[in-house]
Structure 1
Amino acid sequence: MTEREPYAGTARKLVLAFDVGTTYSGISYSILDPGEPPVINDVTRFPATDRVGGNSKIPTIVYYDREGNPRSFGGEALQEATLELAEEEEWSLHVDDLDIPALPPFKNAIDILTDFLGYLFQCAKRYIEESHANGRDVWASFGDNIDFVLSHPNGWEGPQQAQIRRAAVRAGLVPDTPEGQARIRLVTEGEASLHYCLESRNAADGFRDDVGVMIIDAGGGTIDVTSYYMTSSESPPTLHEIAPAECRLQGSVFVTQRAGQHLREKLQGSRFGTEEDINLMKNEFDKTTKLRFSSPNDPSFIRFGTVRDRDLDYNIRSGQLKLPGNEVAALFEPSAEAIIAAVEDQREVATQPISHVFLVGGFGASDWLFARLRDHLEPLGLQFCRPDGHTNKAVAKGAVAFYLDHRVSARVAKFTYGTRCAVAFDRNDEEHLRRASSAIPRPSGRTVIPNAFSAILCKGIAVSETKEFRKDFIVECAERNTCDTIATEIVCYRGNSRNPRWADSEPAMFSNLCTVHADTSRVSRTLSPRRGFAGMQFYRQQFSIVLKFGLTELEAQISWVEDVSVHTSTVVFDHVVEAI
């Protein structure tokens, strides 16, 4: 367990962490009182939680009426009265699962997240008011001094992070101002799970100096795998990420999807092979059979009907279907194989040896999955465990610990980041000769080749939060006023090449993350004209692209010199950007 120093702030603050999961969502929080060590708490009471078999999470469900208004959330959406009213009034159900119905008119994914974040905020408010002595006064004492930690899968990047921030603003959590945005922290599920493990007494022995640890967060939709190395050279000891984070789409909902398909094929010809009965069986499998399954040597049962329902040719007796254990294991196996592949990828590229592996997440509660992974990992000399039985709390609780403790000081770039640009034509370069037909003359008289890729931060590089990665570029303009703005796109390369040179060689591997731009109008007025081809006058502006990974978000800037001081800004404009 982490022993925290007393909170050094001068005013009471609330930290709320929302984990919006594929199947279930949860909330953790910490009330920061000046002079008191922070304590992490969970919201353990939600409306209608008796319907979901637990008190620390709610199903990620929203019901919308025909006008697109949210009418019911979470466990409340599963109550009999709600289901009856929804059918009568033809409400639309949004479940964050693979069987997503068509969204209500004029609704998109950001709208859904906005509504659900607003509901979680109200749940947190209600819980604190009802659970703490003088709870309403406690809540009122926070005012606007509330910070939010929002988690997301390892595989999500800048565009998805921007959408999360937008949803938080629209939900009314914070105002759309720089001060409001500063109250939102984003954290990957992998890093949140790491901080959760650091909180666990059962996992404490695995975190020692010179020891590599791996965290497998097995959730409803994604499998997030991250690896770290603890060092005591800093005080307090911190952890460095030692391999690019992995994210695989093989969470527990995929087991349920495979079960539905298997049942459709298995019950063809049976009177219980209707889509209605298949859906009943699939839902029952998801709620009970999947959770109880532990051994391929024992049969599993799916109860869906009454004692009068039977079809002996299809192993249906007394309203339940009997499935051989090996058939159920086959439904789990693709997820287990995906996890094992991610683990092996991490071990292969990790810069330090890994000795301990921790399994967390709602899917991690599966006894079959735990046994399957243990059988693979322990012969490799890896210590493997589940920190405790409340794995579904890992991300929300770990997100608060991330905010309070901030134990990771360096992360590994998952991809290569840079920009598209042009490079000076080199007659001695065979690739340039092949591309000669696309050459572009510049005002200076030089010739450049477009569609080059200039890497600024390469995959696998360890990045501290304060380290900057920069590269210098130029633009040439025939008219002075066209140097008033500079812009370029930040591009992510997801391929396997260690030295990607051309953005058009693997177009599917390059994607735009964002556009950074700068207002350089003041400095453009001071540019001296130059003489180029045939005495043509032109202007040249030099600037740098700067990349930083503060916390878990990529920050991109354009930097230029103006009046001997360095300026940074962002704008959008088109120029031919050249590497220098």
Structure 2
Amino acid sequence: MFLREPYKGPTRKLVLAFDVGTTFSGVSYCMLDPGEVPVIRGVSRYPAQEGVGGDSKIPSILYYDLQGDVRAVGAEALQEHVIEQAEDEGWVRLAWWKLHLRAKHLPSSHIRDIDIEPLPQGKSAVEVLADFMRYLFQCARTYIQESHLNFWRSVENSIEFVLTHPNGWEGQQQQQIRRAVELAGLISSKEEQSHVHLLTEGEASLHFCVTNVIASDTFSKTPLDVSDYSDDEEDQSDSQGVIVEIAPAECSLQGSVFVTSRARTLLQKKLSGSKHYSDPKIVAQMADIFDKSTKLRFRKPDEPSYIKFGTIRDKDLKYDIRSGQLKLAGQDVADLFEPSIEAIIEAFEQQRRVASTPISLVCLVGGFAASDWLFARLREYLLPLGISFCRPDAHVNKAVADGAVSFYIDHLVSSRVARATYGVECFIPYHSGDPEHQVRLHKSFIDPTGELCIPEYFESILLKYLSGANSGNPSKKSEKTLAGCKSHDSELLCYQGALREPEWLDSDRSSFTTLCTITADLSEVSKTLRPLKSTLDQSKYYKIEYDVVILFGHTELKAQICWKYKVRLSFSSIYFLAD
């Protein structure tokens, strides 16, 4: 059983975790009091859901009016009078809008911008995310104020936000999230970004599984995002132990929402000739019912499935409609799942290939885990491999939000694996005997020291699939003038190509991207420099030696320029959001 330690912080604090999903979203929280054992709770009461006892999640749906103002969000957007008003006044309905933020390099060729509902005129995806997060925050605040008297006032200026995102989202998407946090008013200035913590959905799910499944009495030891972790047998400094990532997280855009998308296409094709049932609104209604019931109940390809959409008077035998139900062949429904199942297995096999230790347990969490057919198909694949397979029997739709809170208070993961190769561009001395140098001789130049050099060399700092807390590489800066030494910019590059250890930018240029620019203020250290003489013409130049360091112990990477000044280390750092 997982035993959580009492909170050791000096002051009261609130942790809010937002799980913004493509179809549903939710919030979990934890009230931290010094000396008290933290308890993770969920916001389970939202507007328009109170009457049915509430729920832990709301639909990720918004309505905008023609002026671009938010008119309804979540369950409120499903109310009949809201839908009627929206039609009368021409409001724009947004669902699946999160896909506008997707990382374009992911294996998502089946998703096109035209397949996603367009954003309202003048609204960006970041602004929509901000509007939605503002609503979630308001709901969380109201719930906590009503559930815990006098608590909110004591912590409203001491809130830590944990925001989850798909495994495959990197620098650009993470920067968009942080920008949305500011637009939503969750923080009042850029300086407060230190209270915002980004986390992959895979690692959030891991924390949920450790604290609710793996650490339960059912297991004595150790998700469509897939992540691999392992117990660290060598570090048992506390009773819970620590966990290290043994393979980089995988992400494939083939989740539950795309099963429903394929079902809508199937329904459109099946009913295209029907006079009464090919209407787009009826097809959309059927797809919605499929999503909420048929998809979850499906178990056997050799048995038909049904979408109950109408009354006993709805009948068209030609199109398999009888007594208000549309009949679907079981195999047709199974085929809707197959691309998602194949994507999960492919992602898992990739993890097995690169994992540093064998995988022995797989936990299926999230809303898609409620599908019996998905669970059965994956179990059929995994068990012959000798891999245990399970899904928590309660609150799996809260796994990401609850796990995100656990991430902040429990800190279970001690080491992570790089999903790409990171490094910097530099130039190196020309060596006439090196064939790589010879073919690039036409690019050579004389540097301030008088040495013939070749540019566009990639100096790797952290290689793909390697893990660790931090890495760095020594570099130097040579300038003709002292003024040129007062500051230094260094671009941190990310390589996503197939080469194991890339060395030259021109060998696979399209696979290199710039993650960030690190700027170091060297005005003070430049005052201590003494001129050196060039070996070419005895002219003066100045040299500064420094390291570019990557800190890799957290879910967000941190880059630094490090140099020696007056026998002590000095740093200039910037967070860059790549993993």
Per the normalisation by structure 2, the TM-score is 0.91
In structure 1, the partner of 2:147 is: 131
Structure 2 residue 178 is matched with structure 1 residue 165: yes
- Bigger drift between 86-95 and 353-362 goes to 86-95
Contact between 1:256 and 1:285, CA under 8 Å: does it hold in 2?
yes
State the shift of 1:552 in Å. Answer: 0.6
Aligned pairs for 1:96-175 (under 5 A) are 96-97=96-97, 99-132=115-148, 135=149, 137-175=150-188
Contact between 1:493 and 1:511, CA under 8 Å: does it hold in 2?
yes
In structure 2, the partner of 1:525 is: 527
SS in 1 for 2:352: helix
| Structure 1 residue ranges (4+ consecutive) displaced by more than 6 angstroms after TM superposition | 50-54
Distance 1:378 1:332 in 2: 20
Structure 2 residue 76 is matched with structure 1 residue 76: yes
State the shift of 1:357 in Å. Answer: 1.1
Structure 2 residue 563 is matched with structure 1 residue 560: yes
Task: Return 5+ residue gaps in structure 1 as ranges.
Answer: 572-580
In structure 2, the partner of 1:234 is: 237
Per the normalisation by structure 1, the TM-score is 0.90
Q: Which amino acid aligns with 2:568?
A: S
Distance 2:54 2:96 in 1: 19
Q: Which amino acid aligns with 2:357?
A: Q
State the shift of 1:326 in Å. Answer: 0.7
Contact between 2:301 and 2:334, CA under 8 Å: does it hold in 1?
yes
Aligned pairs for 1:454-469 (under 5 A) are 454-464=459-469, 468-469=470-471
1:456/1:52 CA distance change after superposition, 3 Å: farther
Instruction: Return the match for 1:358 from 354, 363, 386.
Output: 363
CA deviation digits over 1:294-323, x for unaligned, max 9? Answer: 221221122344444433233222343211
Distance 1:508 1:277 in 2: 45
Distance 2:68 2:226 in 1: 33
Structure 2 residue 384 is matched with structure 1 residue 370: no
In structure 1, the partner of 2:29 is: 29
Contact between 2:213 and 2:219, CA under 8 Å: does it hold in 1?
no
Distance 1:54 1:250 in 2: 29
1:69/1:229 CA distance change after superposition, 3 Å: same
State the shift of 1:336 in Å. Answer: 0.6
SS in 2 for 1:370: helix
Alpha-carbon RMSD across the aligned residues, in angstroms, is: 2.2
Structure 2 residue 535 is matched with structure 1 residue 548: no
Distance 1:10 1:268 in 2: 65
Aligned pairs for 1:157-556 (under 5 A) are 157-178=170-191, 180-201=192-213, 204=216, 208=220, 213=222, 216=223, 218=224, 223-231=225-233, 233-236=236-239, 237-271=241-275, 272-464=277-469, 468-532=470-534, 533-556=536-559
State the shift of 1:460 in Å. Answer: 1.6
Contact between 2:383 and 2:389, CA under 8 Å: does it hold in 1?
yes
Q: Which amino acid aligns with 1:145?
A: S
CA deviation digits over 1:343-380, x for unaligned, max 9? Answer: 11212221112211111011111100000000000111
In structure 2, the partner of 1:574 is: none
Distance 1:258 1:177 in 2: 42
Contact between 2:563 and 2:570, CA under 8 Å: does it hold in 1?
yes
Contact between 2:303 and 2:330, CA under 8 Å: does it hold in 1?
yes
State the shift of 1:561 in Å. Answer: 2.1
Distance 2:242 2:490 in 1: 35
Identical-pair percentage: 51
State the shift of 1:51 in Å. Answer: 9.5
State the shift of 1:433 in Å. Answer: 1.2
State the shift of 1:474 in Å. Answer: 1.8
Task: Return 5+ residue gaps in structure 2 as ranges.
Answer: 100-114, 575-579
In structure 2, the partner of 1:64 is: 64
Distance 2:85 2:445 in 1: 66
SS in 1 for 2:274: coil
- Bigger drift between 340-349 and 560-569 goes to 560-569
State the shift of 1:427 in Å. Answer: 1.4
Contact between 1:52 and 1:58, CA under 8 Å: does it hold in 2?
no
Distance 2:409 2:232 in 1: 18
Distance 1:401 1:428 in 2: 56
Distance 2:283 2:51 in 1: 22
1:526/1:230 CA distance change after superposition, 3 Å: closer
CA deviation digits over 1:435-459, x for unaligned, max 9? Answer: 2222222222222222221110111
State the shift of 1:42 in Å. Answer: 1.1
Aligned pairs for 1:77-96 (under 5 A) are 77-96=77-96
Contact between 2:459 and 2:503, CA under 8 Å: does it hold in 1?
yes
State the shift of 1:54 in Å. Answer: 6.5
CA deviation digits over 1:167-212, x for unaligned, max 9? Answer: 222222223253x22222222111111111122157635765xx6x
